[in-house]
Structure 1
Amino acid sequence: MSVLRTRLASTSLSLAARRTLHTTAVRRDHFLDADAEAFKARVLDAKSDKPVLVDFYADWCQPCRVLSPLLKGVTGPESNFDLMTVNVDEHGDLAGQFKVTALPTVVAFKNGEVKNKFVGFRGQADIEKFLGML
């Protein structure tokens, strides 16, 4: 047994020694499960021209679970859009402020102002069409 442990230890040590670590700056363009402070800072007070899609969702909402990954796929550093998700069960005040009455609701903000929104599930083509209108 000790021979096996020695071999395993030397193998993992040699693998670790060969592995190189790289560090790069990471740009956060997805703000998931945002609270009111993050919402205010990134959406309402933002001076950026990059629109932010705010996905109002709930954990129990099945269409929300399908829509969120689609939104993550079309937003981020390589796109012209950022994404923020807001759980309406935890932040009902934000949902009320923007008259969210059904889920999912996606509101597009630019320079702190509402530019467009949609309610309900949308497929990939409809999301891209929505983004093209911003």
Structure 2
Amino acid sequence: MFSQVIRSARPLAKAGPSIQPALIQRSFHASRIARDHFLDANDEAFTKRALDEANAKPVLVDFYAEWCQPCRVLTPLLKSHTGPESGYDLMTVNVDDYPDLAAKFKVSALPTVVAFKNGAVKNKFVGFRGDADIKKFLGML
């Protein structure tokens, strides 16, 4: 367990004229946190998270490119629907940096979103989708 001491500039309560600044003890835990967004993942991160057979939490993998305008609009929409409280994780993979990974999952147009659960492909869509279509897609997982 990590801890950090923070000095307060003002006292916690007025008890008399000789109050020294109070020391407040804050602890930080080194426990594992539920991550929700894995942006610009590499081969190793992709294999470790999306292809993990023990991972029952669905992972949406957004295959994108920097130059793709629909990708720039879709990624923030996907971020708004994923996270620890949503039950879905989001991973983005730049196809220009990892063309072999994109080819392995037959990404032929951008954006392409592939949903993985327990290490296997469960569903996918190609092209831009709006808010309602993303909710429908997530409901099918």
- Provide the TM-score with structure 2 as the length reference: 0.78
TM-superposition CA deviations, 1:52-90 (whole Å, max 9, x none): 000000000000000000000100111110000000000
2:137 corresponds to 1:130? yes
Unaligned runs of 5+ in 1: 1-12
Superposed displacement of residue 29, structure 1: 1.3
Partner residue in 1 for 2:46: 39
1:55 partner letter: D
Superposed displacement of residue 27, structure 1: 2.8
Unaligned runs of 5+ in 2: 1-7, 11-20
Partner residue in 1 for 2:97: 90
Aligned partners of 2:40 and 2:91 also within 8 Å: yes
User: What secondary structure, in the 3-state scheme, does the structure 1 residue paired with 2:108 have?
Assistant: coil
Give the structure with the higher percent strand: 2
CA distance in 1, matches of 2:54, 2:76: 27
Moved segments of 4+, more than 6 Å: none
CA distance in 2, matches of 1:35, 1:67: 20
- Alignment identity in percent? 69
Superposed displacement of residue 46, structure 1: 4.1
Q: How many residues align?
A: 120
Aligned partners of 2:55 and 2:119 also within 8 Å: no
User: What secondary structure, in the 3-state scheme, does the structure 1 residue paired with 2:71 have?
Assistant: helix
Partner residue in 1 for 2:4: none
- Provide the TM-score with structure 1 as the length reference: 0.81
Give the structure with the higher percent helix: 1
Structure (1 or 2) with the larger CA radius of gyration? 2
Aligned pairs (5 A) from 1:102-121: 102-121=109-128
Partner residue in 2 for 1:59: 66
